[in-house]
Amino acid sequence: MWDFIEERHRQILYDGFQHVYLVVLAVVAATFIAVLIAMLVTKIPRLSGVTNMLSAIGLTIPGFALVGLLMPATGIGNTTAFICVCFYAVLPILRNAVVGLQGVEPVLLESARGMGMGEAAVMARVRLPLAWPVILAGIRVSLQMSMGVAAIAAYVLGPGLGSYIFSGLAQIGGKNALNYALVGTLGVVVLALILDLLLVLVGRVTIPKGIRV
């Protein structure tokens, strides 16, 4: 396998970068979407059950099925891959964001309002900072899941390491079939662990010691 990697190391590194870029871009977009929806749910609590139900339903949709549904509208390539990854990335972040924002102690909110803060200020300076540890935990779950979904997105010629896995499966019994599959699979795992470690460091920097979970 080392000879296989050495011969293709430039392409592997490039595809690894593309995989990470797709996932990070999708997770960042998903975070904004999920937090905005969670803020709306905080204002309208009766929507909480609806969002939980939609999240649960969304997680049951197979990745290949979603790709197939998107292809007639968005075609083959990066757009379909991004939408697919972003769809799944939203779900765990949304759940955690709703829980985090709704879990802020009412006493703290009343104290903030008593100091003259408006609802926007309360959200920005009290709810979101206190909910951030829970939201970040959802982002970590989302990122790990998205790394695998991005590999499936290679089915529609999306960027990343998923193409190596599909090449390996297509060449079963061939000389490099196992090498392709191992490089794709292990590459996704290693990159996922590195990104998760970076998020842990982000948590260390952005979360005060007193509220770390």
- Tens digits of pLDDT across the chain (213 residues): 778 888 888 999 999 999 999 999 999 999 999 999 999 999 898 888 888 888 888 988 888 889 888 988 998 889 999 999 999 999 999 999 999 999 999 898 899 888 989 888 999 999 999 999 999 999 999 999 999 999 988 888 888 999 999 888 888 877 888 999 999 999 999 999 999 999 999 999 998 776 665
Residue 193 gets the label, from left (phi > 0), alpha (psi -120 to 50) or beta, of: alpha
Whole-angstrom Cα distance, residue 13 to residue 144? 19
Give residue 51's Cα distance to chain centre: 17
Two tokens, residue 99: 């829980």
* Amino acid identity for residue 137 in this structure: A
Whole-angstrom Cα distance, residue 200 to residue 136? 9
Residue whose entry in the numeric block shows the structure tokens 């595809």: 15
Q: Which pTM was predicted?
A: 0.92
- The whole domain housing 98 covers 2-211
**Total number of domains constituting the chain:** 1
81 contacts 158 by C-beta, under 8 angstroms: yes
Average pLDDT, the chain: 91
CATH code of residue 118: 1.10.3720.10
